[in-house]
Chain A
Amino acid sequence: MNQPPAETSPPPAPGAAPGPPGNPLAQKDERWQIRVRGLNKSFGVQHVLRGIDLDIERGRTNIIIGGSGQGKSVMMKHLMGLLHPDSGQIWVDGVDVVPFSDKEMGKLRRKFGMVFQYAALFDSMNVVENIAFPLIERYKLSRDEIMERVRDLLRRLDLAKVDGIEKKIPPELSGGQRKRVGLARALIDRPEILLYDEPTTGLDPVATKNVDEMIRQTADDFGVTSVVISHDMASTFRIGDRISMLHDGKIVVSGGREEVLASRHPALREFIETSGLVAREGNAQA
């Protein structure tokens, strides 16, 4: 079955400097920080990504929605170089990172921070050691400098008020606290781009709302570009500036909240209507 093409495509970046002839992607763009073109990835006979075209807007909260098993996490891992595509290009600030060596990819990853679905905190370390881990591995900073940055983040993410938080180990933290510690660890090296992999999965509605606020607040306070993988439509429309839908291995819809809500793409309509955000068309007519 043929899928409708993406309904909205990004317009040319306003004010962008003219790039080298032949490839407008090969230049740093004022508006688009990451641009993905024709990304394909298969695992054995399973063709997961089938020519993804995606643009991530600088300094905004970009949400990628889609059903389970559609390849959202696979796509996110490509953005950070954790997986290598079979074909396609990923342009980060005007540089195609797909041909990067491991060493170059290591440097590129300093631009990124990643918040995992279940935080992925290191069980063998306490909260401070977890948050400080990127600094300890990447730089030779004094203990005082590291502690200053860790405590600053604990304060800004509302963790400092938790009794004995610094010495707690991951199993002693609640779901929401784990997410915040995971976010602090992702933020400690001041990344330009923050990737969130289904940050609200497994949380109750109140904790979900708190995590949404945390994402919004982080984007505002730290000025980062946020890329959030989600299938929670309420969260998506609460925090998303730009929403893209991944379906059958392709981005089928991409745009602002209003554009997405107005889309007629059947998979997106079903997603939105099933979530209860809008009434089903049949019911509305009745």
Chain B
Amino acid sequence: MTSSSSAENPPEVSNVERRLRGLLEHVVVPITVILSYFGDRAIMLGKALAALFRPPFRLRLFLDQMEFVGVGSLPIIALVGFFSGAVSAQQAITALRIFNQERFVGATVGISLAQELAPVFTGLMITARAGSGMATELGSMRITEQIDALSTFAVDPIQYLVTPRVVATTLIMPIMGMVFNIVGLLGAYLFSIFFEHIDLGQFTEQFTFWTDPKDYIIGGVKALVFGLTLSVAACYQGFNVRGGAKEVGLATTRAVVAGSVSILVSDYFLIDAFHILWPSKS
């Protein structure tokens, strides 16, 4: 009798216990999930960087990845860079014309390309092209047991697969950012001179006066950081695929989303940090 009544009326949960459970569900669990998310990626990055200083050194794998990420992405970077520069010039001229200051277009586009557009757009393009490729390739290797096969030959899969991709992407990103800058400036220049009839001398004078090496250093450092975050996101997703072809596709999607979001979020904090550490001249 007692047991049946206790089954019908489960013991009451005290207010304190309920609040503690709520705290656990709403605060502790999300914190654990976030820490685990960043922690897992940080551990993989740590292993990949540690493996960089341990023999054997496989230079060919780095060069292969630099070719895949860099040379392979050149056409898309150049195309996007050219039109981004032209569009930026068009928007800048429209705004500056209100104040009759179109001559500043070279400076406006030069600074925004160097500090923002080049590293961010290059990062997004590399994420879409190379990051997705890395996640798919590593994911396919995982589900077809190629990564296990590496282990059977006493080859560290992180050192063989992840280290070259992370290091190559990180190092190639500033170079690709500079390519974006140059082609973007060309697009802005051609649009301003031939379509908007901005004076050539004023365009170049304002550009050279207002843009500094500092702008390119900021852009380069941002590109390095973006290269690191996007490649770690892609490698992590691909390396940890479990299941079949569907999971590889999902991992690729997650890699692109995580890479893009990490670029945009870290961009905000980086530019904030640079503005504090290295204020612009007025």
The chain A residues found within 8 Å of chain B, CB to CB, are 77, 80, 82, 105-107, 109-110, 112-114, 116-118, 120-123, 133-134, 137-138
Check if A120 sits within 8 Å of B145, measured CB to CB: yes
Check if A138 sits within 8 Å of B144, measured CB to CB: no
**Which one of B146, B151, B152 lies within 8 Å of A122 (CB-CB)?**
B146
CB distance from B137 to the nearest CB of A (A): 8
Cα distance A107–B146 in the bound complex, in angstroms: 20
Check if B151 sits within 8 Å of A120, measured CB to CB: no
Interface of A is mostly: mixed
Check if A134 sits within 8 Å of B153, measured CB to CB: yes
Cα distance A122–B149 in the bound complex, in angstroms: 9
Report which residue of A80, A112, A137 has the largest number of chain B beta carbons within 10 angstroms of its beta carbon: A137
Cβ-based interface call for B260 (8 A): no
CB distance from B159 to the nearest CB of A (A): 11
The chain B residues found within 8 Å of chain A, CB to CB, are 56, 140-141, 144-146, 148-149, 151-155
Report which residue of A120, A122, A138 has the largest number of chain B beta carbons within 10 angstroms of its beta carbon: A120
Residues A82 and B151 in contact in the complex (CB < 8 Å), given A118-B144, A120-B144, A123-B140: yes
Cα distance A106–B141 in the bound complex, in angstroms: 21
12 contacts between A and B (CB under 8 A): A80-B152, A105-B154, A112-B152, A116-B145, A120-B144, A120-B145, A120-B148, A121-B146, A122-B146, A123-B140, A123-B141, A138-B154
Check if A137 sits within 8 Å of B144, measured CB to CB: no
Q: Which of chain B's residues have a CB closer than 8 A to the CB of A82?
A: 148, 151-152
Cα distance A143–B113 in the bound complex, in angstroms: 49
CB distance from B157 to the nearest CB of A (A): 11
Check if A114 sits within 8 Å of B149, measured CB to CB: yes
Report which residue of B146, B149, B151 has the largest number of chain A beta carbons within 10 angstroms of its beta carbon: B149
Cα distance A137–B159 in the bound complex, in angstroms: 13
Q: Which of chain B's residues have a CB closer than 8 A to the CB of A107?
A: 154
CB distance from A157 to the nearest CB of B (A): 18
Q: Which of chain B's residues have a CB closer than 8 A to the CB of A106?
A: 154
Q: Which of chain A's residues have a CB closer than 8 A to the CB of B141?
A: 123
Q: Which of chain A's residues have a CB closer than 8 A to the CB of B145?
A: 116-118, 120
Cα distance A105–B141 in the bound complex, in angstroms: 23
User: Quick one: closest B residue to A118, CB to CB?
Assistant: B144
CB distance from A118 to the nearest CB of B (A): 6
Check if A114 sits within 8 Å of B154, measured CB to CB: no
**Which one of A77, A110, A120, A137 lies within 8 Å of B146 (CB-CB)?**
A120
User: Quick one: closest A residue to B154, CB to CB?
Assistant: A106
